[in-house]
Structure 1
Amino acid sequence: MGIKKVKTGWQVDCWPTGRYGPRVRRIFKQQSVAKRFEAKIMGQGAAGEDMSDLRSDKRRLLDLVEQWYEHHGHTLKSAPDRVRSLRKLANALGNPLAKKFTAQQWVEYRAQRLKEVKANTINHEHTYLTAVFSELERLSLWPHGNPMQKVRKVRTDETEKGYLDSYQIARLLDHLRAQETDDCYYITVICLSTGARWGEAQTLRAENVRKDRIVFVGTKSGKTRTVPIDPDLAKQLHQRRKLGRLFGNRYKAFARVIKELKIELPEGQLTHVLRHTFASHFMMNGGNILVLQQILGHQSITMTMRYAHFAPDHLEEATKYNPLAMSTAVDTL
């Protein structure tokens, strides 16, 4: 890359905004003119000026995915899974020329994809691809607009949130106590005691267990979360070890126990049912919805409101203040 002698003169071949940006190739009769041109456009690229008019942008969708990953995606907690999904998505779309990719192409792909997967999966793909265009646009690395911006997501019904009743909890814990290792038992107890996600409990380190609380780090939101626990539980955890991870990976062991007990759960909620169980029982026992939000680490109260209907007095005022209850003229049948 740079300037080289060709049959018709001196060719400038460069990438002013980096290897994922527009590639510029031009031929000049004089080497000095070629050098001045190269210096000018490389300076414009370094200054962040729009280079799209220098030559047509031939980046394909996969190129945008890689550029997004290099400049932003790698910083995400779910980076490996996200970029893997995006690469697969770009190929499924035929890896089109990015600037010619349209909303109509997405809608056509979506219609076919819905025959294979659920709407929620499609909506995740929608979010991921929209973010690629938006982030590159924000970084001035994409001047052609976001073709996904005006496309609506597929409407979905609210997912059922399964939870365990007291009898199921007791059976589950009894069964887990009888396992060869007690890792799965303690991970489950932590989830039921704190509302933690399975991954947060499973990767818990001894240093993060205090006298009467657990400090969860590396959470989904990236924020540290502290939740009180029973001192007896803290003591038992301290007895396991003083430093490092307290447990091994026990997802498969938990899945096996759930299957043995024939506990039926909504799809995709194998371990997450423990978090739902904590939240549901918290509200049924009179807990405060705002406190629950803090315990679960939800950034928006909207997420936590999914559990509001478990409160004993949820919407009870409907029976007290409806027009029939307020009217003294209603006949008793």
Structure 2
Amino acid sequence: MAIKKVKTGWQVDCWPTGRYGPRVRRIFKQQSVAKRFEAKIMGQGAAGEDMSDLRSDKRRLLDLVEQWYEHHGHTLKSAPDRVRSLRKLANALGNPLAKKFTAQQWVEYRAQRLKEVKANTINHEHTYLTAVFSELERLSLWPHGNPMQKVRKVRTDETEKGYLDSYQIARLLDHLRAQETDDCYYITVICLSTGARWGEAQTLRAENVRKDRIVFVGTKSGKTRTVPIDPDLAKQLRQRRKLGRLFGNRYKAFARVIKELKIELPEGQLTHVLRHTFASHFMMNGGNILVLQQILGHQSITMTMRYAHFAPDHLEEATKYNPLAMSTAVDTL
């Protein structure tokens, strides 16, 4: 709780029934009046008296974003980017009174926004804002429901997952070997050998390389993931350094090589193509989809199923049991 000087007087900012109750903010012209008001309502809260007259919720959307960040958002790996996006979104929506924000307002904003950005961007904003209301509701910090709950996301086509063929892989690795530093080469090899994300491979530490496996920590899901690798590769990595990071930041170097080789990739999949390449070839070579899920660290099998169609026998029954195949079988009897 606090009383502070503002442009128009003295502001009381307190929580009479604790952090999970209503927040009261009032401005008084005189500091003495502000102090008396604060003492009164704090006493009422401590005594468990009816506080219904204080429940006029004047929080705006930005207030909810800040409260969400304070109680939950700061724990996320992407916390700085997420809260920055939410603040920008709240302002774009006009920072309305949160209690009066409706699904219709969101739909109107979305219609205009779709003229400027792709549907995926809008769906990300949808997810972020929904999470703010849901999390505050879960923490008993928001009693007015979630206006986003019944709004559907914009339907989008599944994004093409690019991958490199064997010829492209060979060209890429040959080109990387010729670079001044071999950091980019080894990061690429790790991604192609384990399905790791570029960031996971690039920040790999020497102490996480075992005799025949790599332990990835600080992953996107927050869970430690262990993936076997060729012992010769492990030996080469361990020889580079005994402690600390094995590589520098080589994202730009990789981008330059891809451009030099004129390899065309789907938008936004520059380094992620290596992860897709691992998963695609894993399934084409007869790998098990459940094993792939564990290797990639997907929390849901739904994400891994995007690679199922690469399996040699995927939906093979379509050629056996379609009506034309069955009628041909009958004709031969």
**Global fold match (TM > 0.5):** yes
CA distance in 2, matches of 1:65, 1:59: 10
Aligned match of 2:148: 148
> Aligned pair in 2 of structure 1 residues 18, 326: CA closer, same or farther (>3 Å)?
same
- 8 Å Cα contact 1:3-1:10 kept in structure 2: yes
> Aligned pair in 2 of structure 1 residues 88, 149: CA closer, same or farther (>3 Å)?
same
> Aligned pair in 2 of structure 1 residues 21, 250: CA closer, same or farther (>3 Å)?
farther
- 8 Å Cα contact 2:20-2:139 kept in structure 1: no
- 8 Å Cα contact 2:20-2:140 kept in structure 1: no
Where 2:54 maps in the other structure, the secondary structure is coil
Where 2:13 maps in the other structure, the secondary structure is strand
User: What is the CA-CA distance between 1:38 and the residue it aligns to?
Assistant: 5.9
List per-residue Cα deviations over 1:66-106 (Å, max 9, x = no partner): 11000000000111110111111111111111111111111
> Aligned pair in 2 of structure 1 residues 5, 279: CA closer, same or farther (>3 Å)?
closer
Aligned match of 1:323: 323
Alignment of 1:1-333 (within 5 A): 14-16=14-16, 22-24=22-24, 41-42=41-42, 53-327=53-327, 330-331=330-331
- 8 Å Cα contact 1:50-1:143 kept in structure 2: no
List per-residue Cα deviations over 1:97-138 (Å, max 9, x = no partner): 111111111111101111111101100000000000111111
Where 1:257 maps in the other structure, the secondary structure is helix
User: What is the CA-CA distance between 1:278 and the residue it aligns to?
Assistant: 0.2
- 8 Å Cα contact 1:190-1:196 kept in structure 2: yes
> Aligned pair in 2 of structure 1 residues 51, 216: CA closer, same or farther (>3 Å)?
farther
CA distance in 2, matches of 1:113, 1:41: 43
User: What is the CA-CA distance between 1:325 and the residue it aligns to?
Assistant: 2.7
Taking structure 1 as the reference length, what is the TM-score of the superposition? 0.88
- 8 Å Cα contact 2:58-2:97 kept in structure 1: yes
Taking structure 2 as the reference length, what is the TM-score of the superposition? 0.88
Segment drifting more, 13-22 vs 184-193: 13-22
> Aligned pair in 2 of structure 1 residues 46, 318: CA closer, same or farther (>3 Å)?
farther
**Unpaired segments ≥5 residues, structure 1:** none
User: What is the CA-CA distance between 1:145 and the residue it aligns to?
Assistant: 1.1
User: What is the CA-CA distance between 1:14 and the residue it aligns to?
Assistant: 3.6
> Aligned pair in 2 of structure 1 residues 214, 54: CA closer, same or farther (>3 Å)?
same
List per-residue Cα deviations over 1:156-197 (Å, max 9, x = no partner): 000000000001001111111111111110000000000000
The 4+ residue runs of structure 1 with deviation greater than 3 A are 1-15, 17-53, 326-333
Say what the alpha-carbon RMSD is for the aligned residues.
4.0
Where 1:58 maps in the other structure, the secondary structure is coil
- 8 Å Cα contact 2:4-2:10 kept in structure 1: yes
List per-residue Cα deviations over 1:292-329 (Å, max 9, x = no partner): 01100111111101000001111111112233333466
> Aligned pair in 2 of structure 1 residues 118, 15: CA closer, same or farther (>3 Å)?
same
- 8 Å Cα contact 1:163-1:280 kept in structure 2: yes
CA distance in 1, matches of 2:144, 2:306: 39
CA distance in 2, matches of 1:47, 1:283: 65
List per-residue Cα deviations over 1:253-306 (Å, max 9, x = no partner): 111111111111001100000000000000000111111011001111111010
User: What is the CA-CA distance between 1:213 and the residue it aligns to?
Assistant: 0.2
CA distance in 2, matches of 1:245, 1:294: 25
User: What is the CA-CA distance between 1:16 and the residue it aligns to?
Assistant: 2.5
User: What is the CA-CA distance between 1:55 and the residue it aligns to?
Assistant: 3.9
CA distance in 1, matches of 2:7, 2:228: 76
Where 1:27 maps in the other structure, the secondary structure is strand
- 8 Å Cα contact 2:206-2:243 kept in structure 1: yes
> Aligned pair in 2 of structure 1 residues 44, 326: CA closer, same or farther (>3 Å)?
farther
Identity of aligned pairs, percent? 99
> Aligned pair in 2 of structure 1 residues 98, 10: CA closer, same or farther (>3 Å)?
closer
Where 1:18 maps in the other structure, the secondary structure is coil
CA distance in 2, matches of 1:155, 1:111: 13
> Aligned pair in 2 of structure 1 residues 164, 84: CA closer, same or farther (>3 Å)?
same
> Aligned pair in 2 of structure 1 residues 278, 32: CA closer, same or farther (>3 Å)?
closer
List per-residue Cα deviations over 1:190-244 (Å, max 9, x = no partner): 0000000000000000000000000000011111100000000000001100000
- Counting matched residue pairs gives 333
- 8 Å Cα contact 2:191-2:274 kept in structure 1: yes
User: What is the CA-CA distance between 1:144 and the residue it aligns to?
Assistant: 1.3
User: What is the CA-CA distance between 1:24 and the residue it aligns to?
Assistant: 3.6
